[in-house]
Structure 1
Amino acid sequence: MSRLYGDPIEVWTRDGEPSQFVWRDRLYVVRRILDHWVVAREWWKTSETDPGERRFWRVEATPDREVGTYELRFDTASGGWLLLRAWD
């Protein structure tokens, strides 16, 4: 079962992929990237400074010994990250 959040998070990347993130004052280490995809906005909503992409990652991560699955999103326009979903 998954839960939706949409919480802003701080993310560290390595080679363009998330390697660690802080969510609710806890540091999570990404153990494995399960999936990655890009969603582009409609062409009329983009500009030279805003390509209008949102990049998504589904990852396995852990703050301790228990590994969970999380969906992260990076918005190229704002440069911000969100934790969208977590699975039990």
Structure 2
Amino acid sequence: MSRLYGDPIEVWTRDGEPAQFVWRDRLYLVRSVLDSWVIAREWWKTGEGDPGERRFWRVQAGPGREVGSYELRYDTAGDGWLLMRAWD
């Protein structure tokens, strides 16, 4: 079962992929990238210039020994990261 969040997170990347992130004051180490995809933002829903895109990663990550699956999103137009979803 998954839960939706949409919480802002701080992410560190390595070779263009998330390597670790902080969510709710805990550091999560990314163990593996399960999937990634890109969705172009609709030009009519953005302001002037490049509408950017949303890049998604589904990762296995956790603080310490705990490991779970998480979906992270990076918005190129807003230069921000969100934790979108977590699986039990």
The residue number in structure 1 matching 2:61 is: 61
Query: What TM-score do you get using the length of structure 1 for normalisation?
Result: 0.91
Letter in 2 for 1:80: G
CA shift, 1:42, in A, is 2.8
Q: Report the Cα distance in structure 2 between the residues aligned to 1:18 and 1:73, rounded to whole angstroms.
A: 10
CA shift, 1:83, in A, is 0.1
Instruction: Map 1:4-23 to 2 at 5 A.
Output: 4-23=4-23
Contact 2:42 / 2:51 at 8 angstroms: preserved in 1?
no
The residue number in structure 2 matching 1:38 is: 38
Query: What TM-score do you get using the length of structure 2 for normalisation?
Result: 0.91
Q: Report the Cα distance in structure 2 between the residues aligned to 1:70 and 1:54, rounded to whole angstroms.
A: 16
Contact 1:45 / 1:52 at 8 angstroms: preserved in 2?
no
In structure 2, stretches of 5+ residues that fail to align are none
Give the aligned CA root-mean-square deviation in angstroms: 1.6
Alignment length (residue pairs): 88
